[in-house]
Amino acid sequence: SDTKETKDEGENETMEDKIEWLRARGVTIDIPNERQKSKSGGSDSGAGGAEHSFYYVKVPADTSKPFEQLQGHGKLAADNMLTLLKPFFAGGTIDADCARQQAISQIGEMGRTLGKDGLAALGEASREGVVETFALMRPSATNGHCGVYLYLDEVGMLKQLPLNPRAGELAKTCGFDGATFYGDVYLGRTQIRPPPMRNVDFTLDDASSSSDWLKRAATENYNYSMGMREIHDAIEAKGGAVVGKKDDGSPQEGPGGEYTWTQTEQDIEIVYKVPDDVKSKEVKVKFAPRALSVAARDKKLDIALFAAVRPDECNWTLSKGALTITMEKVSEGRWPTPDGS
């Protein structure tokens, strides 16, 4: 089956592959021999000042407008989309009431105190343009070490930009049900191996519903999530460190053994056991700043969370027998348990 094939290919990954995989996720990794190499000025990136060109795709919020293939230019060893798109997202006005409501949804009633300084900072971000990334598929050995990312206006909702339904459907196909995006978004691809990391072509054909990467994305994202624990342990076994790793490195059981959970400083992940034949349409997950509610057919899970999370940065994926829920913490730090008990 496809799942077995993916597992076998992943077993052939080298330690370097796994480290790059984690770093592409934004996890900081400290490897002793790399520290020494850095001190001696060594580098294997070979990036220099070389520049290259690549294609990416615009997904307009207006569904009457077609997808558009564009060309970008930039240096190797960087995701050039983060600077290339800033002018596209620059401008617009932050709605103060919307900003306060968003703050309340993330940190509770304290969000009502959002004042002039906070609004001024948001206004500056709006004027300059701030690019946010959403990973549709992480790089791994099974996809040629290429990740596919959605790039959006970080304050698009606060500008009251229109909902982008096609972006939401694309994320849902990749296993991220309930993700919402506002305004025009852009699709791009980066490749992390062989080094240096660089932007590579993402074309209109890649944006098609029949594209190979999209067919595999949900499975690859699930395998990525499940493989993170093994990778954490492998890196530490070589004398390295993963910032934000759980203290003992192993999943903990929730009450009654209904779920297991792990955490980093930035987020918490819950894997909830469900019947093998449950379909995504039978799953309902509600995120609130201090609560999680799950219904999967006749199974229900309700958790009053230990601390606040960001509902708009939470997501879930479904695979056979397992519902994986990831929640981003408002304040970095460790929780004793998901509910603080």
Residue 194: which pLDDT band, with cuts at 50, 70 and 90? Answer: confident
Cα first-last separation, the chain:
41
What local confidence, expressed as pLDDT, does residue 15 receive? 59
What local confidence, expressed as pLDDT, does residue 84 receive? 95
CB-based contact 142:10 (threshold 8 Å): yes
What local confidence, expressed as pLDDT, does residue 137 receive? 92
Q: Which residues contact 3 (CB under 8 A, 6 or more apart)?
A: 219, 223, 320
Mean pLDDT of 4-28: 50
> 């993963």: which residue's tokens?
242
The identity of residue 127, as a single letter, is R
Residue 40: which pLDDT band, with cuts at 50, 70 and 90? Answer: very low
CA distances from 245 to 132, 232, 249, 265 (A): 24, 7, 7, 7
Mean pLDDT of 202-215: 96
CB-based contact 131:89 (threshold 8 Å): yes
Residue 238: which pLDDT band, with cuts at 50, 70 and 90? Answer: low
Instruction: Tell me the average pLDDT of the chain.
Output: 78
Token pair of 62 as six digits: 């207006």
What local confidence, expressed as pLDDT, does residue 164 receive? 97
CB-based contact 337:315 (threshold 8 Å): no
What local confidence, expressed as pLDDT, does residue 33 receive? 54
Residue of 198, 219, 230 whose CA lies nearest to 19: 230
CA–CA distance, 188 with 201 (Å, rounded to integer): 7
Q: Is the pTM of this model over 0.95?
A: no
Query: Is 162 a residue whose pLDDT tops 70?
Result: yes
- In order, the DSSP letters of 219-264 are HHHHHHHHHHHHHHHHHHHTT-EETT--SSSS-EE-GGGSEEEEE-
Output DSSP code: residue 157: T
Output DSSP code: residue 136: E
- The better pLDDT of the pair 84, 197 is held by 84
